[in-house]
C-alpha cells in the first residue's frame, strides 16, 4: 500500500499530537480559567489573551492570530507555571496543556 501524500501525513500527525480531556476531569484552576475567558477577563497576567503562535506545530495549522493563550494557575507557585488554556476561533475549541506546550488535549464538554 502506498504511503499517504505529505498533506495527509501532516493531518495525521496533528490529530495524533492532540488528545482529549473531559471538562469535568480538568483541574479546578483550568475550569476557573475557562470561566474567566467566557467573562472576558480581567486576566491575572499581561500575557493572557495574547496570540499563541503554535510554533510547536501540535495544533491544527491556522493563520496567525487564530489561537490565544491563557494562564492556568498552579497552586503553590509564585510565577505562571506550565499550565495553559489555548483557545481557537471556533466555538468551544479549547485546548489544555499541563506541560507548557509539549502536549495538548482538546477539552470536551460532552462527556
Any idea which residues carry the catalytic annotation? Answer: 69, 100
In 3-42, which positions are buried (b, 16+ CB within 10 angstroms) versus exposed (e)? Answer: eeeeeeeeeeeeeeeeeebebeebeebbeebbebbeeeee
Amino acid at each position: 500500500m502506498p504511503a499517504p501524500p505529505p498533506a495527509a501525513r501532516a493531518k495525521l500527525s496533528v490529530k495524533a499530537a492532540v488528545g482529549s480531556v473531559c471538562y469535568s476531569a480538568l483541574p479546578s484552576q483550568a475550569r476557573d480559567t475557562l470561566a474567566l475567558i467566557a467573562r472576558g477577563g480581567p486576566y491575572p497576567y499581561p500575557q493572557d489573551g495574547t496570540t499563541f503562535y503554535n510554533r510547536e506545530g501540535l495544533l491544527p495549522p491556522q493563520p496567525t492570530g487564530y489561537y490565544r493563550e491563557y494562564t492556568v494557575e498552579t497552586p503553590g507557585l509564585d510565577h505562571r507555571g506550565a499550565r495553559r488554556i489555548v483557545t481557537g476561533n471556533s466555538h468551544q475549541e479549547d485546548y489544555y496543556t499541563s506541560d507548557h506546550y509539549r502536549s495538548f488535549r482538546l477539552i470536551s464538554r460532552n462527556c
